[in-house]
Chains A and B, each alone.
Chain A
């Protein structure tokens, strides 16, 4: 479909970031090769261009990094909180200074639009460090008793959907509370974590306090199973979360898991339709729907279904899919060919099971991994697309007649991470919000994040909270 307004390309310059041809592991303040010399390539999902070659950590490297973190723990945890705070403030400031560089880097490695890395990811990363910096010397007042102690070495495994933001969610509270960390970034997005290692050096962070080990799932498993790790923090799939929960059974390791979701976004008949449409779009197409708290199930009151879906489809046809570095781009690339294959197969399953598919008309670039915004109607609760997390730009639409039915359908999920409510009626917002079994409820908004606001799930979406005062508990021996 020809767009009413043609846009000239407005690409953000790549020249602000200098990606080296290869990177090592970051252990004990140094970039080093993997013990077995293994490397892997990281590609830009929008072009399939190889960005860099990365050392791949094996179990020997995990052991080395945990030892470095253990050694650093003694001094780091003994530092006055006010001194730890100043390191974190330094890091926050350097992130702010280098935020354009990091935004471009993240967009290149992840495929998400520069609009999002620039306006959402990076500001939140800096804010997260700034927020937890302030806690480091105030832990006595956090409600966990006097002088709460850190746990020790934290093994942290993060996903590829918000690489640097998830790093911030893990590292900022860990360091503020006096722990040291070994962090494994996802295999498809290792670069921003390695740039963060450089930021740690610029900030003068003592050696071994932060260690970064790029690698695949086996590296992550070696890390969480390492006997000298005291704390495991994982963000990723529910399946891996369950295997981690099994592997730490019988140990003293403290665990927090932030896993999958199938968020219900509930639109009542009195909702302001235009705002709701924007909220639905933000809920499921932000970051190409590769968001654990995505509003991937639209529950719309039957009486406004047609009106809402007409508006929504009209809006989806205006979304601009393409070069993630273009400042006008709304929908970037899917992170990897594996993820694209998963989305594609779940969508095929949706069609095969009888749901009705509608896909926005937009041109798909010839190189890279792309999936056009898609929605399914005539979806029942038994359909795979209504139950399984697709982790892509695919919305399943279900209907309801009464608030009770909406709540029952929303809660009919193994997950319980997020939910949305759209209505003008205040008492209905509060009544429905209180009945939803979900850790984050957005009313008349969606996908809002803040370092002061605890985030995490009910049920199989995991346990523990990240963010806010609540987020400290995960890293304290309380």
Chain B
């Protein structure tokens, strides 16, 4: 902090974001978060498996409403996230600079890219169904339409290094299509993620659509990967040792959809892969019949 400071500034207690609320870890545990030079930044909650389960309950509760919201409404809300972030741009520049050891100007580029990513996905909400769904010309008198639907509750192991742009790049595609998310933030740099919770809470995003946990992926991951009420898991940040493979094995118990870790440059324009990874295709058939004397026939 600068030497001209005339008053003692107010620290922020970083808290989890679960079900639209900001709880501490039920375990009462915290861990020290430092910047790239090892200077103490804050004590972040060290979430427990109970916190993870609570987050799944919140995400499941929010799923029906969020999946059932109109795509236009979801787009409006994702755009609102971008607006709220823009207003708190300086805060995030500071947090990203601290978290990733970047200069203020480089951190600003990252934050701007993250804001723009929300805008990108905001525009996708009401377009993806037309791109990946459609009418199927079946050989018979049937109306036949395939539409994408959200998979459900998605556990997201957020990238470990790209604590904010990477984070936004993995959350936004999950919720754009109507899924709800339980996010394990970067273990080393969780603060931008925890602050993002504050932005989401003020963006008209219904509580529980995104739930953010700080702590150890290796501790919470196995419980979330094995959780029977989680439908999918994004392993992007499960880069530690054999963790991704272990989580994929646990995920097989209820056949979760699994997005494996891969090398990814979050500065590049994302494709649609991250959205389609967590979409199901539903195909509905109905006879078209013919207009006979009775008016219809099956």
Contacts and interface: CB of A to CB of B under 8 A. Distances in A.
Interface in A33-63: none
Interface in A129-172: 143, 145
Contact of B285 (A127, A246, A445, A478): A445
Contact of A453 (B151, B257, B258, B283): B283
Given A143-B131, A445-B298, A463-B255, A454 B281 contact: yes
A441 interface: yes
A246 B246 CA distance: 9
Interface in B269-293: 271, 273, 280-287
Interface residues of A, number: 45
B68 to A, nearest CB: 8
A421 to B, nearest CB: 9
Instruction: Kindly name the residue among B131, B134, B146, B246 whose own CB sees the greatest number of chain A CB atoms within 10 A.
Output: B146
B248 interface: yes
A22 interface: no
A443 B248 contact: no
B255 A450 contact: no
Nearest to B232: A463
Nearest to B141: A445
B41 interface: no
Interface string A443-477: 11100101011111011101101001110000000
B214 to A, nearest CB: 26
A440 B137 CA distance: 16
A242 B136 contact: no
B285 A459 contact: no
Interface in B71-116: none
Interface in B212-271: 231, 242, 244-246, 248-249, 251-255, 257-258, 260, 271
A220 interface: no
B252 A242 contact: yes
B10 interface: no
Contacts of A127: 139
A440 B255 contact: no
B140 A245 contact: no
B94 to A, nearest CB: 38
A280 to B, nearest CB: 13
Interface string A118-131: 00000000010000
A275 interface: yes
Contacts of B144: 450, 452-453
B287 A245 contact: no
B138 A250 contact: no
B120 interface: no
B286 A444 contact: yes
B22 interface: no
Nearest to A248: B248
B249 A448 contact: no
A453 B146 contact: yes
Contact of B249 (A249, A414, A462): A249
Given A246-B249, A453-B146, A443 B285 contact: yes
Identify whether the interface residues of B are mostly helix, strand, loop, or mixed.
Answer: mixed
A312 interface: no
A332 interface: no
Contact of A250 (B131, B140, B245, B280): B245
A93 B132 CA distance: 31
A458 B280 contact: yes
A143 B251 CA distance: 29
A456 B249 contact: no
B281 A465 contact: yes
A195 B251 CA distance: 38
B254 A439 contact: no
A259 B283 CA distance: 17
Contacts of A478: 273
Contacts of A433: 282, 284
Contacts of A259: 255
Contacts of A414: 254
Interface in A3-27: none
Interface string A361-391: 0000000000000000000000000000000
Instruction: Kindly name the residue among A143, A249, A438, A444 whose own CB sees the greatest number of chain B CB atoms within 10 A.
Output: A249
Contacts of B282: 433, 436, 438-441, 458
Contacts of B257: 463
A245 B255 contact: yes
Nearest to B151: A458
A227 interface: no
A459 B253 CA distance: 11
B281 A456 contact: yes
A253 B242 CA distance: 17
A205 interface: no
Contact of A455 (B134, B231, B242, B283): B283
Nearest to B271: A145
Contact of A272 (B132, B142, B146, B298): B298
A261 interface: no
A443 B252 contact: no
A340 interface: no
A442 interface: yes
A249 B252 contact: yes
A450 B140 contact: yes
Given A242-B255, A245-B252, A452 B137 contact: yes
A394 interface: no
A130 to B, nearest CB: 10
A442 B142 CA distance: 10
A241 B254 CA distance: 10
A232 B151 CA distance: 22
A453 B255 contact: no
Contacts of B271: 145
Contact of A462 (B231, B255, B258, B260): B255
A448 B283 contact: no
Contacts of A275: 298
Contacts of B285: 440-443, 445, 448, 453
Contacts of B273: 478
Interface in B1-32: none
Interface in B115-152: 131-132, 134, 136-140, 142, 144, 146, 151
A85 interface: no
Closest 9 CB pairs of A and B: A250-B245, A245-B252, A249-B248, A450-B138, A443-B286, A452-B136, A249-B249, A246-B252, A453-B136
19 contacts: A127-B139, A143-B132, A145-B271, A242-B252, A243-B252, A249-B246, A250-B242, A250-B244, A433-B282, A438-B282, A445-B286, A445-B298, A450-B144, A452-B136, A454-B136, A458-B151, A459-B255, A462-B255, A469-B134
Given A433-B284, A460-B254, 8 more contacts: A246-B252, A250-B244, A250-B249, A272-B298, A438-B282, A444-B286, A444-B287, A453-B144
Interface of B: 131-132, 134, 136-140, 142, 144, 146, 151, 231, 242, 244-246, 248-249, 251-255, 257-258, 260, 271, 273, 280-287, 298
